[in-house]
Each structure stands twice: as structure tokens, then as C-alpha cells.
Chains A and B, each alone.
Chain A
Amino acid sequence: MKLGPALSDRAGRLLDFLWSGWAGLAALSLLAAAWQAGHEAWGDFILPAPLETVGAAVGLLGDPDSLSLLLITAQRSLTGFAMAAGAGVALGLTAGYAPAVMRLARPLLTVVLGVPPIAWIVLTMMWFGTTGTTVAVAILIAATPVVFVAAAEGIATRDRELGHMAEAFGYGLLGRFLFIDLRQASRPIFPALALALGTSFKVAIMAEMLANAGGVGGALARARALLDVPQALAWVVLSVIALIVVEYGLVRPMEGELERWRRAAQPWGVKR
């Protein structure tokens, strides 16, 4: 595609993406309205007003120490997420190609998924102490299975005729993997990555809280000890914002770029 049309196509998709944010804003407004109603019903101590919480969150963002706590948690979450994504995709792709590996992996997955993340956090605390490694390993264990299953399913359910087509035109194993199979597997992998990212933030905060390893989890533990509900809610809000920024700033745009052909199939009303 020539540069001019390509740029206008990209700009159009960016505008569509931003425009679709109205639906998200509407949902968040509904949540804020329900929150306000809860605040008015139960009072300031149980549920501070949304505006007050936002004010506290803005205050935290203005404080360099608080900001560094948020960055520590984000960095730990992203490290754990990157490890889980790498391991899950690599193992899942292998299992997708090798049914024997898949058969061996399924019972293990059942066991791993059956253990609550909090139990892994306790175990990793005992193994690695109260350090960032505890957080990263807990995320790795909690988030990898989701990505693994998606990658394995993506390969196992691929359209093999496309592989035959590529082979007929001279593509070898590596070419078929890179240009055909990986592209097909990306479809289930991206929603799994979004899920794994959410899990990473949740597990990171939980692990920090239990292991007293600083970060947002540590700040939440302190707010709990002081019964400072606005402060606790402000940290929750900031964590969710950090997650949204990473998900909609990184994972979703990548997914949108790879899956833009699906929009072509959508009727106009669904697109907008």
C-alpha cells in the first residue's frame, strides 16, 4: 500500500479506536453512579465518594514516593506478565503441534489451575523470601496456564489447508510457522494475554501485600492498618488505571493491528 493511503487508513483506525472509547466511558460513568449511590446509602466511612477517591488518587500521583510505589508494582507485574506470556506461548505452541505433549499437559494444568493464587504466593514467599522474585514467580505460575491453553488451542485448531497452500508455493517448516501458523494462533492468544495481564496485576498486589514487599500491595496493607478507606480505594483506582493503560496502550492496539481484517467483516453499526 502507498504511504498516503496507508497513513490515512491508520489514522482512520486510530480515530475509530478512540471513538469506541465512548462506550467504555459510558460504562465507567454507570459504575461511578452506582458507587455514588452506595456512598450516599452507607456513608463516608464505608464507601467514600468517587470524587473524593479520585482526589486522593490525584494526590498520590503528585507524590513522588507514591508514584515510585506504583511504578514498582507495574514493573513487577509486567516482568511477571512477560515471563508468563513467553513461557505460555512457547509451551502452548509446542503442545499444539504435539498431541502427546498436550495429553500430558492437560492433567498438570488442571492441578495448577486448581491451586488458588494465594497458595502459590505463600509457597513462593517461603521459597524466595519477601522479594520481587516472589511476586514474579507467583505471577508466572498463576498466569502461564491461560496463555498456554490459548496458544495450544490456536495451533491445534489452525486451518491446515493454509499450510498446504504455503507448502505448494515452496514455503518450508519455518516459513509456514512464521507466516501461517503463528498468525492463526494469535487470534486466541491475544484475549488470553489480556486476561493474563489482569491476573498479573492482581497477583502482584496480593503478593506484595502478603509478603510486605512494598509497591501498591504494601501501601494497601498500610491503609488497611490505618483504616484509611479513601487511601485504599485510591490505590485500587490507580492500579486499575495502570492496568487499563497497559492493556489499551499495548495489548489491544497490537491485537487490533493483527486482527484488523475482522473489522472488514463487521456490519457498519457494529463497527461504530
Chain B
Amino acid sequence: MNALTLERIGHAYFGQAVLADIHLEVGRGEVVALVGPSGSGKSTLIQIAAGLVDAREGRIRRGFSRQAMIFQEPNLMPWATARENIGFALRRAGVARRDRQARIEEAAWLAELEGDDLGKYPVELSGGMRQRVAIARALAVRPDFIFFDEPFTALDVALKRRMQDLVIGAAREAHFAALFITHDLMEAIRIAHRIAVLDVRGRGIAGVRALEGGTGDRNEAEIFALRQRFLETDPLFRHIHDVDERKRR
């Protein structure tokens, strides 16, 4: 059984269809990047897949036992320290209180956070550090599926690269499956096993491209060459950088 199967997913806001007839499968231990132009419904789709929004039609089959999610904004509780934020998900995951500290420290290590950082409040941390805490919070529950909703969009190029390395390392270490929403094709190529392209109007998955090798196996030259090839010769990727949402309807 797949880690995640979306069948005929459709959704509408105020009577206006934003997604229709979406079929997508994510295998166990597989990272699938979902790309598409701005406004094509990527975030709505991941929210449906994560159970935050009820789909108007279709069926979701979840073959994983524990999910986590990393959002575009870190969404940290400002009143809680980094340690408490990381531990927040553990309480719901049913981890015994005596085991929580060890789990928090393990997740912090995976996210390359230092001991001193754990006692700080989000307001004392930089944007990149906050996103690390969000990553650690997700990893702390030892999920077998992680939803990434454009998690590094707001970061600068260097920081984005470090965060991607972090995810690649964590995916190797923890062997989770993931659905990774992004509009950055380079990021998708670096991180994913497969890239799915959402139709410009959200009417189904326009196509899927499997990438050779595992997540993080491709070097910079290969990533760049692949990106150029996709953008210049593959019609599937023709519209992924469209930004005018008014063209949609």
C-alpha cells in the first residue's frame, strides 16, 4: 500500500472549483514534489491531504501511521520556548513525559539546533532558526509522512539551501515519505524522487516526472542541467512559473 493515495480529489471555495479530479500517489519512503503555478491550488491540495480541509469530492487513503507538517511560516507558539515548541507535538503523539526530553534533543540534533537555542523564545531566534525549530517539531514525533507546504519560500538562497540539506539528511536518517509543495523547480529536483506538476487551473495532475537516484543524490550541475531541460524542452513545465492568478478563470 502507498503511503498516500489521492483519488479524484476535488474542492471548491464559495462555489468556485479550485481543484478537480486530482490523482496522486506517494510511495513509502518516497518524496514527491508538487509544483505548479501560483494560485493553482497546491496549498489547498496539501491541506486536504493533511486533513486540515475536507475535500468536497474524492477519497484519500493514508497508509502512514503518524504525520507531521512543516508550513511556509514556522507557526511557532510565541509564548513557548524552542524546547516547548518542539515538544508540543509529542504530547499529542502520546510520548511519555519522561521520554520527551530525549526526543526533543534528538530532533534538535537532526535540525542542527544547539542546546542554548532550546531555551530561547521564537522572538529571540532568526527566521532560519525558527524554521529549524519547526523542522525539529515535525521530526520529534518520528513521522512516517511529512507534508511540506512551501516551507522555505520566505528564506534567502543560502539559508534555503541549508534547510534543503537538512531535509535531505533527515529523510535519509528517518526514512519518511513526503509530499513537498514548492514553486522552485531547483528545490524540487534536489529533494524529490518524483515531481508532479499540477494543472494550471487545478484540473488534475498534468504529469509526473521520475528523477534518477535518491533524494539528495544529484549534484549542482545535474540539478541545473535537469532544470534547464525541463524548462526548455519539456512542455509539462511550461506554465509552472506563471504568476498571474487572474488568468485562471
Contact = CB atoms under 8 A, between A and B. Distances in A.
Question: Do A and B bind?
Answer: yes
A53 B93 CA distance: 61
Contacts of B123: 261, 264-265
A265 B71 contact: no
Interface stretch (A13-21, A100-108, A162-170): A162-170
Given A169-B68, A170-B92, A261-B78, 19 more contacts: A161-B71, A162-B77, A164-B47, A165-B71, A166-B88, A166-B92, A168-B67, A168-B71, A168-B147, A169-B89, A175-B92, A180-B77, A183-B77, A259-B79, A261-B79, A261-B80, A261-B81, A264-B123, A265-B124
Interface string B104-125: 0000000000000001110110
A183 B84 CA distance: 14
Main DSSP-derived SS at the B contact region: loop
20 contacts: A1-B83, A161-B73, A162-B75, A164-B71, A164-B75, A165-B75, A167-B51, A168-B51, A168-B147, A169-B68, A169-B137, A169-B141, A170-B67, A171-B92, A180-B77, A261-B79, A261-B80, A261-B123, A264-B120, A265-B121
Contacts of B67: 168, 170
Given A261-B80, A261-B123, A265-B124, A168 B88 contact: no
Contacts of B78: 261
A248 interface: no
Contacts, number: 59
Interface of B: 47, 50-52, 67-69, 71, 73, 75, 77-81, 83, 88-89, 92-93, 119-121, 123-124, 137, 141, 147
Given A169-B141, A258-B79, A179 B147 contact: no
Contacts of A170: 67, 89, 92-93
Nearest to A159: B75
B121 A169 contact: no
Interface in A61-98: none
Contacts of A175: 92
A211 to B, nearest CB: 43
B216 to A, nearest CB: 25
A183 B184 CA distance: 36
Interface of A: 1, 161-162, 164-171, 175, 179-180, 183, 258-259, 261, 264-265
Main DSSP-derived SS at the A contact region: helix
B77 A264 contact: no
A264 B75 contact: no
Nearest to B77: A162
A204 to B, nearest CB: 33
B118 to A, nearest CB: 10
Contacts of B51: 167-168
A164 B52 contact: yes
A179 B52 CA distance: 18
Closest 6 CB pairs of A and B: A168-B69, A165-B75, A169-B89, A265-B123, A261-B121, A264-B121
Nearest to B84: A1
A266 to B, nearest CB: 10
Contacts of B75: 161-162, 164-165
A124 B50 CA distance: 55
Given A165-B69, A259-B79, A261-B79, A179 B121 contact: no
Given A165-B69, A175-B92, A264-B124, A183 B52 contact: no
Contact of B69 (A169, A259, A265): A169
B52 A168 contact: yes
A169 B124 CA distance: 24
A134 B145 CA distance: 60
B97 to A, nearest CB: 13
A168 B68 contact: yes
A160 to B, nearest CB: 10
Contacts of B141: 169
Contacts of B77: 162, 180, 183
A265 B88 CA distance: 22
Given A168-B68, A169-B68, A264-B124, A179 B88 contact: yes
